[in-house]
Amino acid sequence: MSVLAHEIMTPTIKAVPHHWTMDRLARFLTDNEITGSPVTDDNGDIIGIVTLKDITEFRWNANDTNDQPALSDEDRAAARHLRRVLFEEMGKVPVEVRDIMTPIVLSVDEQTPVRDIADIMMQEHLHRIFVTRDSKITGIITTYDMLKLVSDRDLTQRCAKTD
């Protein structure tokens, strides 16, 4: 008997509203000791996902100066100064979750075998995937949840059996 999504999913989802600031999101993720969260619209529907990686990439891109290899030292210094000034000004206008989230929401049905889920997560380089029943999200499976397959002897044996 295959191990199915509903057996290892986390049924509680800590979602964040799309209008939260990036700083508030960072505090939320840190306070809840998680690395990512679904993003909801004003109706509470999930419209994307946001992670610590999104925050890091946004901040990294704002400070990145590697796209100017043909500039003189003086021009490069002027460009760095301009970037710094622009980034400081951008800091006055809060970046919202909707600005940095990934709008693609991948999901699997509650009855999906975990082997299929593992394949999807590996192919798509995902650390989390939503679980649905009748097109409604009922949970989430993270890489941590997938570790249950290794730590729980019964699940490991059931997963190892071929159908």
For residue 39, the domain's CATH number is 3.10.580.10
Residues whose CB falls within 8 Å of the CB of residue 157, separated by 6 or more in sequence, listed in order:
none
Q: What is the pTM of this model?
A: 0.71
Residue at 140 is within a domain: yes
Q: Which domain holds residue 137?
A: 5-56+96-160
Task: Take residue 159 and report the two structure tokens written for it.
Answer: 């997963």
Residue 94 pLDDT greater than 80, yes or no: no
Residue at 100 is within a domain: yes
Average pLDDT (125-144) is 90
Residue at 102 is within a domain: yes
> How big, in percent rounded to 5, are the helix, strand and coil portions of the chain?
45, 20, 30
Residue at 86 is within a domain: no
pLDDT (0 to 100) of residue 92: 65
pLDDT (0 to 100) of residue 156: 85
Average pLDDT (41-61) is 86
Question: Measured between alpha carbons, how far is 13 from 10 in angstroms, rounded to an integer?
Answer: 7
pLDDT (0 to 100) of residue 50: 94
Average pLDDT (116-127) is 94
Residue 6 pLDDT greater than 80, yes or no: yes
Residue at 149 is within a domain: yes
Report how many domains make up the chain: 1
Average pLDDT (57-81) is 68
Mapped onto helix, strand or coil, the DSSP state of residue 35 is coil
Residue at 109 is within a domain: yes
